[in-house]
Amino acid sequence: MSLTPSPEREELRSVVRKFMATHSDESQVRRQMDLGEGYDTAVWRKMAEQLGVQSLMIPEEYGGAGFGFGELAIVLEEAGRALLCAPLMSTAVLATSALLYSNDETAAKDHLPGIAEGTTVATVAIIEDGGNWAEDGITLQAKATDDGWHLTGVKPYVLDGTDAGLIIVAARTESGVSLFLVDAGAPGFTATNLSTLDLTRRQARLEFSDTPARLLGTDGSGWEVLEKVLRVAAIALACEQVGGSAQVLETTVEYAKTREQFGRQIGSFQAVKHKLADMLVELESSRSAAYFATAALESDSDDSSVAASIAKSYCSTAFYDIAAESIQLHGGIGFTWEHTAHMYFKRARGSHSLFGTPAYHRALIAAQLGV
């Protein structure tokens, strides 16, 4: 993916944007925020049947469309623009990447076709108490017994944890960090929804009590896989944040054109112009960072890891700044919880620390560059 998307990808963007306008406008988002599942299962199925979103990154031999991350990046950007309530990040990004990178042919054949069809919702449980996204933050225990592997421990912040039928769990064995497949109906497994600031993206606390699990890939190779998964996740979230930032800026500019104060449109005031210009600079800079990281990932560049952290760090900060400034520029109405600006602000705040804070990623960049 270049910094200028191809005509085919722009056509995909147009199709996805029309779909989001129909199925993820503000009224739909607010309704889905109040649903027990947190998303509309009928819309999720339509995304698979009409757009093939869930299948974009999945190879054809597993029932997928056989495209790549670049196409999914376009979808994620439009999903961020519309504040889509769906297990897209958990299923199409995290779980799909984990299954592909694990090089476990049996697991891929068992689960990727269901994801591609939209019948399987899956997620990856990584982070634990303390919010440490590094390898040493994984302490949940996995033990080998005569009848297979069993997990014991807690994963407190798991995307779509109560909706997923398949959970890929990072756990520690005697060989190191490994990945395991757990069925949502397995004995000793419980999932509880968490109360979160951003209701458009559900999280859950997962508890495992001697829960039977199946090893994914090779014992002890889990962190090698997770490093790649988190790299993809960071870029995916950056693309989503670009879409959210773009929508916030566009609606704020429209408001500045129509809102009058002292007999003039507020957009005519120099101070407001400066703020909007600063927001535009942040948006376009974050777009460049996300697109470059996407291109680096697609080409399997040696720079992809650094590019992912740059994109996640910058796009998280930019989205938060743009969303916060939008509330200020909307004046009194912008400070009401019911206003749309707060929905984007909450998403910006929630995604700010997801997959690592900007400070965490800046530290990763420094370490990789040997600074």
Let me know whether 98 and 17 are in one domain. Answer: yes
Average pLDDT, the chain: 93
How would you classify the pairing of strands 122-125 and 166-173?
parallel
Q: Is residue 55 part of a domain?
A: yes
Q: Is residue 106 part of a domain?
A: yes
Quote the percentage of the chain above a pLDDT of 70: 99
- Give the best-scoring range by mean pLDDT among 25-34, 72-81, 257-266: 72-81
Whole domain around residue 195: which residue ranges? 123-220
Distance (Å, rounded) from C-alpha 368 to C-alpha 108?
A: 31
Mention every residue, 6+ apart, whose C-beta is less than 8 A from residue 192. Answer: 162, 204, 205, 207
Let me know whether 311 and 235 are in one domain. Answer: yes
Let me know whether 235 and 358 are in one domain. Answer: yes
Let me know whether 239 and 335 are in one domain. Answer: yes
Q: Indicate which CATH number applies to the domain containing 136.
A: 2.40.110.10
Distance (Å, rounded) from C-alpha 286 to C-alpha 311?
A: 7
25 pLDDT exceeds 60? yes
Distance (Å, rounded) from C-alpha 265 to C-alpha 277?
A: 16
pLDDT tens for 213-224 read 999 999 999 999
**Predicted confidence band of residue 13 (pLDDT cuts 50, 70, 90):** very high
Let me know whether 130 and 204 are in one domain. Answer: yes
Let me know whether 166 and 250 are in one domain. Answer: no
pLDDT of residue 35: 73
Q: Which two tokens stand for residue 206?
A: 């997962």
Helix-helix angle 222-258:270-298, to 10 degrees: 150
pLDDT of residue 1: 45
Q: Which two tokens stand for residue 141?
A: 């225990």
Let me know whether 106 and 137 are in one domain. Answer: no
Let me know whether 66 and 45 are in one domain. Answer: yes
Q: Which two tokens stand for residue 147?
A: 């009848």
Let me know whether 269 and 362 are in one domain. Answer: yes
* Of the candidate ranges 129-133, 190-194, 232-236, the one whose mean pLDDT is the lowest: 129-133
Let me know whether 289 and 335 are in one domain. Answer: yes
Q: Is residue 1 part of a domain?
A: no
Look at the chain and count its residues: 371
Q: Indicate which CATH number applies to the domain containing 56.
A: 1.10.540.10
Q: Is residue 260 part of a domain?
A: yes
Q: Indicate which CATH number applies to the domain containing 301.
A: 1.20.140.10
349 pLDDT exceeds 70? yes
Q: Which amino acid is at 119?
A: T
pLDDT tens for 82-137 read 999 999 999 999 999 999 999 999 999 999 999 999 999 999 999 998 888 999 99
Let me know whether 250 and 359 are in one domain. Answer: yes
Count up the domains in the chain and report the number. Answer: 3
Residue with the bigger pLDDT between 197 and 107: it is 107
Q: Which of 193, 220, 247 delimits the end of a domain?
A: 220
Let me know whether 270 and 216 are in one domain. Answer: no
pLDDT of residue 78: 97
Q: Which of 169, 197, 220 delimits the end of a domain?
A: 220
pLDDT tens for 147-188 read 999 999 999 999 999 999 999 999 999 999 999 999 999 999
Q: Is residue 282 part of a domain?
A: yes
Distance (Å, rounded) from C-alpha 28 to C-alpha 9?
A: 26
pLDDT tens for 175-184 read 999 999 999 9
Q: Which of 202, 220, 238 delimits the end of a domain?
A: 220
Beta partners for residue 154, in sequence order = 207
Q: Is residue 286 part of a domain?
A: yes
pLDDT of residue 131: 84
Q: Is residue 2 part of a domain?
A: no
How would you classify the pairing of strands 264-265 and 122-125?
unpaired
Q: Contact at 8 Å (CB) between 269 and 194?
A: no
Q: Is residue 359 part of a domain?
A: yes
Whether the CA torsion 249, 254, 260, 265 is positive or negative: it is positive
